[in-house]
Structure 1
Amino acid sequence: MLHLQACEAPMTAELRWDDLRIFLLLARTGTLTAAAEALGVHASTTHRRLSALEAALGARLFDRTPAGLTLTATGEAMRPLAAQVEDDVDALLRAVSGRDQSPRGTVRLTAPEPLLPLLVDSLATFRQRFPAVDLQVSFSDRFYDLSRREADVAVRPSAAPPERAVGRRVSSVAWAAYASAASVGAQAADALPWAVYGDDMARLAAATWWHESHSEDPVLMSVNSVSAMHRVVSCTPCRGLLPCFVGDRAAELTRLGPPIAAPESGLWILVHPDLRRATRVRSLLDHLWDALVAQRRLLAGTGQPTDPRALG
């Protein structure tokens, strides 16, 4: 007698890289809204994709709580494996991107917003010179991760650049105290209250220097960006710390002393090692170098005379 036994095929889930990317973003941010913002989609789309991923896997990856999303045991086990896939995909994309032979294709540049006035003319010239390069620029105080391909090239002030990036140090970046010319004309500079850096900007070397040297002085308000500090100091009777390349270019501001040594950092042009020989990237690196080297004196705080009045 012939016995036939039905064999149940093992269930396999069809996964796409986009599914794993959403999973990792949710694991890192902890909320649907933050992950959706990073992806540039609506939160409902992220929720729908997460539900589809969990259904495909037949497992719950996150616990939903009022505070956000928390990884389940299954999610915790999946996270390092998904991160390894992410590293492998990023390495593949960098290797392929690094083999082009002509300056064409997309290059994504990130730089702090205060550098916009120093770079905008040069970037326009770059586009005229290399029309086949699609230059995408993000001026933001956020530090984009080059190893995750959030950007290809970064112009970044730093005491020490990230280990997984290579680049060249353009110049030192000096900081000094500034106040509006009107404020200094109305009262002694050392009588002015301070505007200080708060939130994430409280980790700046300039903020640390202020806390160590002037924490007993009156404070008018705290701000969360260099651009905000510039606007506040320009419009309000107070003093604040700015990079010299911002303060010295502002006609309405007066520098209250020489550059302060403690907050000084370097300005770097950085790229991931796998992309530095790509022609389109190399072209941008060289172009940025020439543009910023021409601004070295301004960046170092030696480009304009200093007001002799002391900090107080």
Structure 2
Amino acid sequence: MNFDWNDIEVFLAVARSGTLSAAGRQLNRSQPTIGRRIQQLEKQLSLTLFTRTPYGYKLTENGNSLIETAEEIQQKMDQLKGCVKLLNEQPSGVVNIACGESFARLLMDNMGRLTFQYPEISIQIQTGIQFVNLEKGEADIAIRSQRPTNPNLYVRFLGHCRYAVYASSAYVFQHPESRTEQRAESCRWISYHDSESVLPVTRWLRQQVPPEQIKLYCSTLMALLQGVKSGQGLAALPIFVGKQSQDLIQLTPALTDLNQETWLVLNRNAGRVQAIKAVSTWIGEIFDQLDDGCFRI
């Protein structure tokens, strides 16, 4: 049995409205066209679906038997059309990303690829270590150093962010002990401010370096990085950040006792929005392309 699936829409319109003219107005087709489609459907099914009366069309017993199934098919067809529309539409809208400063720098360095592929997407990046509630819409996507336990959140492990100790070439020249194992006790160090003490790198520094050797405290990565560049001391930096600064010298291999877990997090329902899905895929690709020296799975 072969028939036009669009005739289901015509069948339902006539069944609901009771007349060919009303169904025609609903579907933006002429009354004769609607009549021909009903006749064609009845012929293809070998069933009489309507009783013709002076007052309109009334469902027969056969028609009543098919109405529920026809409505289910129509609903599925509408869902299919909606899915196809989403797939064909260019993702657009504002996507809010919450992450630390180092990852914000990484995203900015790769932003050109996203804007070229999805010019209708706008990105809003909020940096800081404060917690954002994705379920309340405070952000669409977050990059976090701890895995959330909320089952309503989608999480993807991005890898371990690897750190090393860095200093400026001028500082290393003036303080050759910075290249030795005595650097913790003999060199000046730069750390994040106490308000940033939840950061793994801050906790590591407190364990490794005497407090009297920490001479400069910063609340932002930009300030800390500038302090290292200007020769104010040593600092533990993400290797992918240190590599971007040609005037910095990496003094240690990747620190084995400082591997910061990194997780991509988004609301499960938000993941169905095309723009958010596109941006989360882009973020995953950025981290996948980092070499093992900077990032380790």
State the TM-score, normalizing by the size of structure 1. 0.58
1:200 aligns with 2:187: no
Give distance in 1, aligned partners of 2:110 and 2:244.
17
CA-CA distance at 1:213 after TM superposition: 2.2
AA at the equivalent of 1:275:
A
AA at the equivalent of 1:160:
R
- Counterparts in 2 of 1:107-126, with a 5 A limit? 107-126=95-114
| CA-based RMSD | 2.5
Contact preservation (8 Å) 1:174, 1:260: yes
Give distance in 2, aligned partners of 1:234 and 1:195.
11
Structure 2 vs 1, CA of residues 162 and 250 (structure 1 numbering), >3 Å: closer, same or farther?
farther
AA at the equivalent of 1:288:
I
Among 272, 278, 288, the residue aligned to 1:283: 278
Counterpart of 2:209 in structure 1 is 214
AA at the equivalent of 1:154:
A
CA-CA distance at 1:256 after TM superposition: 1.6
* SS of aligned partner of 1:246: helix
Counterpart of 1:184 in structure 2 is 172
Unaligned runs of 5+ residues in structure 1 are 1-98, 303-312
1:249 aligns with 2:252: no
Give distance in 1, aligned partners of 2:218 and 2:104.
19
Number of aligned residues: 203
Give distance in 2, aligned partners of 1:180 and 1:301.
25
CA-CA distance at 1:169 after TM superposition: 1.5
Give distance in 2, aligned partners of 1:232 and 1:162.
37
Which shows bigger deviation, 162-171 or 276-285?
A: 162-171
- Counterparts in 2 of 1:133-282, with a 5 A limit? 133-156=121-144, 158-161=145-148, 163=150, 164-187=152-175, 188-189=177-178, 190=183, 191-215=186-210, 218-282=213-277
AA at the equivalent of 1:263:
L
Give distance in 2, aligned partners of 1:139 and 1:208.
20
Residues 94-114 of structure 1: CA deviation (Å, up to 9, x unaligned) = xxxxx9924233322223222
Give distance in 1, aligned partners of 2:253 and 2:206.
19
Give distance in 1, aligned partners of 2:196 and 2:127.
16
Contact preservation (8 Å) 1:104, 1:280: yes
Structure 2 vs 1, CA of residues 263 and 252 (structure 1 numbering), >3 Å: closer, same or farther?
same
- Counterparts in 2 of 1:4-43, with a 5 A limit? none
CA-CA distance at 1:160 after TM superposition: 2.4
Among 114, 118, 132, the residue aligned to 1:130: 118
Contact preservation (8 Å) 1:127, 1:135: no
* SS of aligned partner of 1:106: strand
Give distance in 1, aligned partners of 2:113 and 2:243.
25
Contact preservation (8 Å) 1:110, 1:137: yes
**Percent pairwise identity:** 21
State the TM-score, normalizing by the size of structure 2. 0.61
Give distance in 2, aligned partners of 1:165 and 1:198.
30
CA-CA distance at 1:131 after TM superposition: 2.7
CA-CA distance at 1:275 after TM superposition: 0.9
Give distance in 1, aligned partners of 2:114 and 2:98.
15
Structure 2 vs 1, CA of residues 121 and 177 (structure 1 numbering), >3 Å: closer, same or farther?
closer
Give distance in 2, aligned partners of 1:134 and 1:225.
25
CA-CA distance at 1:140 after TM superposition: 4.1
